[in-house]
Structure 1
Amino acid sequence: MNIFFHELKAYRKSTIIWSVSLVLIIALFMSFYPAFAKDAEDFQKIMEGYPEAIRNAIGFNLGNFFTILGFYCFPLSFITLCGAIQGMNLGTSIVSKEVREKTADFLLTKPVTRPTVLTAKLMAAFVSLIITNIIYLAVTIILAFQVKSDDFSLKVLIMLSLTMFFIQLIFLALGVMMSVIVPKIKSVLTVSLTTVFAFYFLGFFSSTTGEEAKRYISPFKYFDTAYIIKHESFEASFLVAGAVIIILAIAASYFVYLKKDIHAV
């Protein structure tokens, strides 16, 4: 339990920074909504000039863009990108920071098992993400009610916002797996940015082709915002795909970590 609280305290500054950053981003975008809703026809003519593949890639849907939920989907694509970086950053640093700071051998001489250590670190990262999402969701709901021009479904707004949390969990799991497999990660941020942007652009290009199967390549495409708005539900097959990735990545992390040689300073 001491490890959990120690890690949670270590993530405190990072959690605050990410929470404030996401809140500022959504506040900036939502402040634009009244202007978009007021001049909907003019903006629609402008956006019709863009190819449909590009509109789909950036989460722009002409059918519902000028509703509060449809408009929210546009900044959400960038917000999930930021959230994924947070998740990947947390996951990648879980084990690698002990190696980088040369404290791994000291930690493992304590009367705790390796599964206990890894579980405590994972739980601290998980709680950090939960705190970020609670703050973000609360502010988003308040802003949506402040700028709305028509009634909207609060349930759908929450579901759309939760897509960031699900994507964060996937990248958290991938980051943990990478941190235990790679012997020494010199720069966590570099690895996180490279991995997240690689998947983001893979998702971007898969959207331009329109092939459904290619959506499985990138976690960013597991949650179709237009589908969520229309059906008020997630696509089960992609939820399963995301869960499988998380389970396999975490299982692989425990397997490797339990057998990994920890070099003494």
Structure 2
Amino acid sequence: MNIFLHELKAYRKSTMIWSISLILVVVLFMSLFPAFTKDVTEFKKLLEGYPEPVRKALGMDLNTLFSILGFYCYALTFITLCAAIQAMNLGTSIVSKEVREKTADFLLTKPVTRSTIITAKLLAALVSLVITNVIYFAAASFMAFQVKTEDFSFQTFFLLSLTILFIQLMFLAMGIIISVSVPKIKSVLSVSLSTVFAFYFLGVIGSTTDDEAKRYISPFKYFDTSYIMEKSSYEVSFLIVGVVLIILAIAASYRVYSKKDIHAV
């Protein structure tokens, strides 16, 4: 419990910074919605000038873009990118920071098992992400009700917002396995940014085609916002694959960390 509270306290500042950052992004996008819908015809003509693959890559569906939920889906393209970086940062630093700060051997001399250590760290990171999402969702909901031009399904809005947390969990798990596998990570931010942007651009490239299989490559494409808006649910196959990948990555992290050699300072 002491490790959990210590980690949670250590994440306090970054949690607030990322929460505020996500709020600023959603406020910026949603505040543009009233102006965006003032002249729908002109905006449609402008956007139709862009090639369809480009519109797909940017998450622009002209059939729904001018509704509050459709515009929110477009904003999510960028919001999830920022959220994924936060999660990847947390995951990558879970174990690597002990090696980098030369406190790993000190921590392991305490009367706790390695599984207890990584569990406490993982729970602290998870709580940090949940807090961020709760704060973000409150702000996003407030903005949606402020700028809406017609009624919308709050259930669908909630499901769309919840995709942020699901994507974060996948990158958190990915960060953890990297953290316990790589002997020493000099810069967490550089690893996080390169990994997140690599998957983001893979998702962008995959979205320009109609090949469903390519969607499995990038976590950013596991949740089709058009499908969520139409069905008010997630695609079961992608949800199952996402959960399995998270479980496998975390299980592998426990196994690797339990057998990992920790060099003394």
TM-score when normalising by structure 1: 0.99
Give 1:37 deviation, angstroms. 1.2
Give 1:147 deviation, angstroms. 0.3
Match of 1:180 in 2: 180
Match of 1:244 in 2: 244
Give 1:54 deviation, angstroms. 1.3
Deviations 1:152-186 (A, max 9, x none): 00001111011111000000000000000000000
Match of 2:256 in 1: 256
Distance 2:67 2:209 in 1: 27
Distance 2:242 2:87 in 1: 14
Identical counterparts, % of pairs: 70
Deviations 1:179-209 (A, max 9, x none): 0000000000000000000000000000112
Deviations 1:82-102 (A, max 9, x none): 000000000000000000000
Distance 2:235 2:82 in 1: 23
Deviations 1:114-133 (A, max 9, x none): 00000000000000000000
Deviations 1:17-44 (A, max 9, x none): 0000000010011010001111111101
Match of 2:60 in 1: 60
Match of 2:48 in 1: 48
Deviations 1:212-236 (A, max 9, x none): 1100010000000010000000000
Q: Is the 8 A contact 1:53 1:210 kept in 2?
A: no
Distance 1:56 1:208 in 2: 6
Distance 2:246 2:86 in 1: 16
Match of 1:151 in 2: 151
Match of 2:193 in 1: 193
Match of 2:16 in 1: 16
Aligned to 2:142, what secondary structure does the other structure show?
Answer: helix
- Of 124-133 and 38-47, deviating more is 38-47
Structure 2 residue runs of 5 or longer lacking an equivalent are none
Aligned to 1:209, what secondary structure does the other structure show?
Answer: coil
Match of 1:227 in 2: 227
Distance 2:187 2:210 in 1: 35
Distance 2:23 2:119 in 1: 29
Q: Is the 8 A contact 1:57 1:204 kept in 2?
A: yes
Structure 1 residue runs of 5 or longer lacking an equivalent are none
- Count of residues in Structure 1 that have an aligned counterpart in Structure 2: 265
Distance 1:176 1:202 in 2: 21
Q: Is the 8 A contact 1:81 1:196 kept in 2?
A: yes
Residue type of the alignment partner of 1:116: T
Distance 1:65 1:209 in 2: 20
**1:164 is aligned to 2:164:** yes
Aligned to 1:38, what secondary structure does the other structure show?
Answer: coil
Aligned to 2:99, what secondary structure does the other structure show?
Answer: helix
Residue type of the alignment partner of 2:4: F
**1:116 is aligned to 2:116:** yes
Match of 1:106 in 2: 106
Distance 1:20 1:51 in 2: 34
TM-score when normalising by structure 2: 0.99
List structure 1 segments (4+ residues) > 4 angstroms apart after TM superposition.
Answer: none
Give 1:58 deviation, angstroms. 1.0
Aligned to 2:250, what secondary structure does the other structure show?
Answer: helix
Distance 2:4 2:97 in 1: 15
- Of 175-184 and 48-57, deviating more is 48-57
